[in-house]
C-alpha cells in the first residue's frame, strides 16, 4: 500500500511564512480582479527566507463596493501555510514554484480581516491556458490537477475596503529566490 501513501500523503518540507500583495476588483456582484505580490516561504530547518513573485487576473464574487481592494503586508500577523507536492513530484526544490498558477481565495474584510487561499502552482503556462479557456475548458478541468507541481494553502490577516467573497485568479509566478 505504499503507492496509496504516496498519492494521499504528499507533504513537502516547504511552508509559507508571510505575504505582501494587493488585489483590486471592479464591478458589481461578479467583479474583474487583478492580483499581484510576493509570497515568502521557507524550506525545512534552513534559516533562509525565499521570495516568490506572482501576478494574475481573474474574477471575484461577493458583496462589497463597486471598486474594492485588499492588501497584505509582511508585518501583519497570522501568516501561515503548508505546501504539498503535486502528483509525480519527488522532493520539491525552489524551481517547482515557477510557472502558471490557479489561486482560489476567500476573504472577509472590514478595514482588517482574514483571508484563506488554496493555490495550485508550477504548471506549464501554455498548457494551463489551453485547458482552462475556450473549448479546452470543457474537458480540461479534469486534467488540471495533474498539471501542477505543488499545492499550497495559506492564510493570514489582510487590510482593505469592506467586502466579503470568493475569487479565482490565474497567472504566473517565479521560482523561489533566496533572500
Q: What is the pLDDT of residues 105-157, one digit of tens each?
A: 999 998 898 999 999 898 877 777 766 666 555 555 555 666 788 999 999 89
Q: What is the pLDDT of residue 128?
A: 72
Question: Sign of dihedral through CA atoms 168, 153, 17, 177?
Answer: negative
Quick one: pLDDT band at residue 8, thresholds 50, 70, 90? low
Model pLDDT for residues 11-22, shown as the tens digit of each residue: 899 999 999 999
Phi, psi of 124 (to 5 degrees): -65, 120
The model's pTM is 0.86
Q: What is the pLDDT of residue 95?
A: 92
Amino acid at each position: 500500500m505504499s503507492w496509496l501513501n504516496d498519492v494521499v500523503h504528499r507533504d513537502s518540507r516547504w511552508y509559507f511564512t508571510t505575504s505582501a500583495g494587493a488585489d483590486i476588483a471592479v464591478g458589481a456582484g461578479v467583479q474583474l480582479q487583478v492580483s499581484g505580490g510576493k509570497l515568502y516561504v521557507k524550506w525545512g530547518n534552513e534559516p533562509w527566507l525565499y521570495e516568490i513573485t506572482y501576478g494574475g487576473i481573474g474574477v471575484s464574487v461577493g458583496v462589497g463596493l463597486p471598486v474594492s481592494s485588499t492588501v497584505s503586508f509582511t508585518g501583519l500577523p497570522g501568516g501561515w501555510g503548508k505546501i504539498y507536492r503535486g502528483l509525480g513530484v519527488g522532493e520539491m526544490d525552489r524551481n517547482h514554484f515557477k510557472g502558471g498558477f490557479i489561486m482560489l481565495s476567500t476573504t472577509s474584510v472590514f478595514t482588517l480581516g482574514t483571508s484563506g487561499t488554496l493555490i495550485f502552482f508550477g504548471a506549464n503556462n501554455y498548457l494551463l491556458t489551453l485547458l482552462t479557456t475556450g473549448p479546452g475548458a470543457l474537458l480540461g478541468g479534469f486534467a488540471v490537477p495533474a498539471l501542477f507541481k505543488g499545492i499550497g494553502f495559506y492564510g493570514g490577516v489582510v487590510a482593505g475596503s469592506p467586502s466579503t467573497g470568493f475569487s479565482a485568479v490565474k497567472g504566473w509566478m517565479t521560482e523561489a529566490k533566496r533572500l
